[in-house]
Amino acid sequence: MKISNDINEAAFWLSQNKVVAIPTETVYGLAANIYNEAAVNSIYKIKNRPSNNPLIVHIKSTRELYKYVENIPVKASLLAKYFWPGPLTLVLKKAAHIPDYITSNKDTVAIRVPAHPATLKLLESLLFPLAAPSANPSNSVSSTTAQHVLDYFGDKLPFILDGGSCAKGLESTIVGFEKGEPIIYRLGALSIEHIERVIGKVEIRNNATQSPDAPGMFSKHYAPKTPLYITNDLETFLTENNTTNIAFLGFDKSLSHSKITQNYLLSAEGNYDEAATNLYKTLIEIDSKNFDLIVTQYLPEIDLGKSINDRLSRAAFKIN
Ligand code: TXA
Ligand code: MG
């Protein structure tokens, strides 16, 4: 296993049909040649990912989109033009040569141009696009540094292309189309506000309960190992709960209480972009300590606050 910023070496391993970790502006990915079935199968195996969960195809430029998809809706072209390279994935009807093992037999393909200089150079040097899911075992928190990838996968990869800390720190926003109209399938690092400025109102259909006060359990995803509890009523929670060794994950304000061992702030300045960038690395850092519980609150539903709340909901073992 080697970690370096040598793009040629990354290209070498990928051309040998090996899986290589690559940096993007959102999170690190586990990449392989989309046309090599064995290499793509290894991605699924390494991540322990169910085979019915399709992969995102990473291409080198917006100009190339037409090669991989058919019937590009006007609003999809506009989004690609405004936001690529960038943290946006489009789900469009796939071209016939996109293998079914990339799309889990769907007739659509998820595709994006990542905005990371090293990975764009890498894509330029390759004769094939890269399939890449986030570089984490299924259901755990995504990696935003080369060190995170190393800690998760160690010797399972020949090479990690080190591109530093991911600037966005949250996965891309996924937009699909039905009858030419956009639907957001996953909230992410491109805010709805940005999208709507370009193409008008969009529908959100990401089947997470959006309402911050909805109680109950969510299917686990993006989850830290330490149980995470989301509450709107911190005072009551801290009074009634017996747990003492608590990490408080705050947006911009810390909380002092005898049961809280340590405060972690996502952005002391109350900046949503910065909070998104810090979310996963903070969860991973908290997980490396021995807290009994992480307690947090939803952020205001503004800009990337919405995307952060979506990830918190999926990471939580309980919301109250
Ligand atoms: O920011 C990102 O998007 C990162 C970086 C590495 O590019 N990648 C990423 O991949 O987050 P992954 O595999 O962790 O998430 C891809 C999501 C999955 O939820 C998958 O179900 C969805 O994209 N997806 C892929 N193909 C699809 C399709 N044809 N239709 C609907 N959803 C699709
Ligand atoms: Mg993922």
Contact residues of ligand 1, CB 6 A cut-off: 24, 26-27, 29, 53-56, 89, 91, 103, 106, 108-110, 114, 132-134, 171-172, 174, 185-186
Q: How far is the CA of 47 from the centre of ligand 2 (A)?
A: 10
Rounded to the nearest 5°, which phi and psi values hold at 295? -115, 135
pLDDT band for position 320 (50/70/90)?
A: confident
**pLDDT value for 215:** 35
Q: How far is the CA of 240 from the centre of ligand 2 (A)?
A: 35
87-100 per-position pLDDT tens digit = 999 999 999 999 99
- Please give the number of the atom of ligand 1 that sits closest to the Cα of 132: 6
**pLDDT value for 220:** 66
**pLDDT value for 267:** 98
Mean pLDDT of the chain: 94
Given a cut of 60, whether residue 219 has pLDDT beyond it is: no
Q: What is the pTM of this model?
A: 0.96
The secondary structure of the chain, three-state, reads CEEECCHHHHHHHHHCCCCEEECCCCCCEEEEECCCHHHHHHHHHHHCCCCCCCCEEECCCHHHHHHHEECCCHHHHHHHHHHCCCCEEEEEEECCCCCHHHHCCCCEEEEECCCCHHHHHHHHHCCCCEECCECCCCCECCCCCHHHHHHHHHHHCCEEECCCCCCCCCCCEEEEEECCEEEEEECCCCCHHHHHHHHCCCEECCCCCCCCCCCECCCCCCECCCCEEECCCHHHHHHHCCCCCEEEEECCCCCCCCCEEEEEECCCCCCHHHHHHHHHHHHHHHHCCCCCEEEECCCCCCCHHHHHHHHHHHHCCEEC
pLDDT band for position 8 (50/70/90)?
A: very high
pLDDT band for position 221 (50/70/90)?
A: confident
48-69 per-position pLDDT tens digit = 999 999 999 999 999 999 999 9
Using CB atoms within 10 A of its CB, is residue 6 exposed (0-12), middle (13-18) or buried (19+)?
middle
* Domain ranges for the chain: 2-204, 228-319
CA 315 to chain centre: 13
Query: In CATH, what class is 2-204?
Result: alpha beta
14-40 per-position pLDDT tens digit = 999 999 999 999 999 999 999 999 999
228-319 is classed CATH 2.60.40.420: no
Domains 2-204 and 228-319 agree in fold: no
Give the ligand whose atoms come closest to the C-alpha of residue 29: 1
Region 292-303 average pLDDT: 97
Q: How far is the CA of 49 from the centre of ligand 1 (A)?
A: 12
